[in-house]
Structure 1
């Protein structure tokens, strides 16, 4: 009997011990899980604080830091060893310590987020042999990405924060825009004070090179090709003005900013001076910027900017396409230095045929020439309201049966005085030379 009682008590003790051990283990496990969950929650909050999945905000005061001192071989080894390495952005704000943050998905926001190492590898360490253009805001390099695609890398100069300004403007203006006549922004790079924009590579130079370069006795730009380029440029601008909200005013339309592909398709580039204009605004007052010879007179004199300023610049560009002359050419006689003045004088004296670039082998038909001359004169009308919209210009360039008679009848009704213009419209005299701020933004 005593033996049985002692056996039962031993079993009870073992059961109690097992239960105590189980409770202790359970408590420890719960405590461990709670501690781990707390740490995970803190790390998620910290990550959310530094990375919002969009373009990183950059302070207006950026301390200049030296570029990474890497050799091309070191860059290649790094990319090969880490083909899926997370993009790292290093910002130095107001003298504070450098903050490093990782972005799990580099393909976010406006295009791809490239690291400085990827860009250096693509451009062979920004070698001089890869330079395809340079201007007031930086240097453009030809680049070859690891996937074999060609790009144009615009390395912005950090002149008193100008790099950040142009970087933000271009990303805001065309970051998500996709149009066949606008250069596509593939991605960007922002590390330290470095700001770079990565564009699609357009492989046939720019319009300025083909109009004013050494192309031989006969220009490869036939009249039809020139009209195709003009129409493509007009369509790109029409999309910026009428297809976006807010609308985009380019502010620097010129031949060097019209890139061409192998099929002579035009692509408008260089949006570093662009301005966004909401539908509720008729204009915006801003510092006068642009390129001498292309800037609209009212913008140069008052700083009041809207899409009709681009229309004036397009009119000058169209004159340049027709004549093969630069907007300002100091090598010409005094009466021919200013393209607009000379152009209107030639039309008024009924010498329109002499306006056509002599390098064009087969001249245009009189009707086709008259149509384009009329478009030019309407684009540069000193009355801003009378300038056509870019969408209307596209229609006028594409339509063969342009209503000359109705247009001329309207002009005659308004102006009963006889006209000496070849297209029978009164050409207003050009005002005295106006001061224009020259901001070069050339991408060759």
Structure 2
């Protein structure tokens, strides 16, 4: 990883080995931390991420992934693209980080078999079943990040509401699809951005269409990251994406029930009044799935 050199990647500065055998990697310090700390914060903090900044972050990350997939001696699959792994410097320029579960792949190969690891909400369908994965798996995760940049909210969230403790799951890409079908494009955008009046509707439509192409459940329909860069920078036309059945929603519902049941057991001693409207976001849960041969 030390040989990777791209302006939108976090660069490894060095490493050290202590007398106790502990190993440390040394990376630059990023003043503004990770994207998720701003994107999922209160309105005041989210408003610092202007539309222009969010669009530029989308471009920065797309270029980082395009470099990993197409310009390295060996293709590199990141496999855990999410806001928590996107770091922001003092001027909010984005850097893709955390290659802990990444995989390298020969340039003449298009797929690789691996244990499916990553974060629920960003995992593509092919990583949830015994199938080989490819660079298109990163494309799917990137598409989910685009939705979160648009809406200022997590792509999947489960909440417990009311005295009945009824669980309500929300899948933002599905909400966005329905809003756009109704002709309410700007309702998809983070309200704190809309209120400023500094949002370009044509760019919202473009980013939304790219996001929907990226999360197509058939990997062959997803663009590669070079094409995504060209789309975002206006060098390639973006057609209206086909309607996706979004079968992955069913898995996320099951996974959230599992996560919530574990949380319920831990919180059994709490009163119901303290648990109302408790967020049970699946986005922060990392899982490993052993794929069959």
Q: TM-score if structure 1 supplies the norm length?
A: 0.53
Equivalent in 207, 221, 224 of residue 372 of structure 1? 207
Distance in structure 2 (CA, Å) of the matches to 1:214 and 1:428:
31
Equivalent in 129, 150, 162 of residue 322 of structure 1? 150
Deviation of 1:260 after TM superposition, in Å, equals 0.4
**Could you say what secondary structure the match of 1:231 adopts?**
helix
Mapped pair 1:176 → 2:176 = no
The aligned counterpart of 1:79 is: none
Contact persistence 2:143–2:211 (CA under 8 A): yes
Mapped pair 1:193 → 2:21 = yes
The aligned counterpart of 1:344 is: 177
Deviation of 1:331 after TM superposition, in Å, equals 3.2
Contact persistence 1:286–1:304 (CA under 8 A): yes
Q: TM-score if structure 2 supplies the norm length?
A: 0.78
Deviation of 1:381 after TM superposition, in Å, equals 1.1
Equivalent in 237, 241, 246 of residue 403 of structure 1? 237
Q: Which moved more, 1:427-436 or 1:346-355?
A: 427-436
Distance in structure 1 (CA, Å) of the matches to 2:201 and 2:160:
26
Distance in structure 2 (CA, Å) of the matches to 1:323 and 1:352:
11
Contact persistence 1:285–1:304 (CA under 8 A): yes
Deviation of 1:373 after TM superposition, in Å, equals 1.1
The aligned counterpart of 1:225 is: 53
Query: Is the alpha carbon distance of 1:387 and 1:253 closer, same or farther for their aligned partners in structure 2, counting shifts above 3 Å?
Result: same
The aligned counterpart of 1:255 is: 83
The aligned counterpart of 1:206 is: 34
Mapped pair 1:434 → 2:251 = yes
Residues 121-146 of structure 1, C-alpha deviation per residue, up to 9 Å, x if partnerless?
xxxxxxxxxxxxxxxxxxxxxxxxxx
The aligned counterpart of 1:356 is: 189
Distance in structure 1 (CA, Å) of the matches to 2:183 and 2:139:
25
Residues 22-60 of structure 1, C-alpha deviation per residue, up to 9 Å, x if partnerless?
xxxxxxxxxxxxxxxxxxxxxxxxxxxxxxxxxxxxxxx
Distance in structure 1 (CA, Å) of the matches to 2:209 and 2:121:
20
**Could you say what secondary structure the match of 2:27 adopts?**
strand
The aligned counterpart of 1:419 is: none
Unaligned runs of 5+ in 2: 162-166, 256-281, 288-293
Deviation of 1:190 after TM superposition, in Å, equals 2.5
**Could you say what secondary structure the match of 2:118 adopts?**
coil
**Could you say what secondary structure the match of 2:156 adopts?**
coil
Query: Is the alpha carbon distance of 1:221 and 1:274 closer, same or farther for their aligned partners in structure 2, counting shifts above 3 Å?
Result: same
Q: Determine which structure has more spread, i.e. the larger CA radius of gyration.
A: 1
Distance in structure 2 (CA, Å) of the matches to 1:349 and 1:179:
41
Aligned residues: 249
Contact persistence 1:323–1:355 (CA under 8 A): yes
Query: How is 1:10-159 mapped onto 2 (pairs within 5 angstroms)?
Result: none
Mapped pair 1:294 → 2:122 = yes
Distance in structure 1 (CA, Å) of the matches to 2:72 and 2:173:
31
The aligned counterpart of 1:94 is: none
The aligned counterpart of 1:46 is: none
Query: Is the alpha carbon distance of 1:217 and 1:310 closer, same or farther for their aligned partners in structure 2, counting shifts above 3 Å?
Result: closer
Mapped pair 1:234 → 2:62 = yes
The aligned counterpart of 1:284 is: 112
Contact persistence 2:155–2:171 (CA under 8 A): yes
Deviation of 1:218 after TM superposition, in Å, equals 6.5
**Could you say what secondary structure the match of 1:220 adopts?**
coil
Contact persistence 2:87–2:97 (CA under 8 A): yes
Structure number with the bigger relative contact order (C-alpha 8 A, sep ≥ 6) is 2
Mapped pair 1:393 → 2:228 = yes
Query: How is 1:263-282 mapped onto 2 (pairs within 5 angstroms)?
Result: 263-282=91-110
Deviation of 1:386 after TM superposition, in Å, equals 1.6
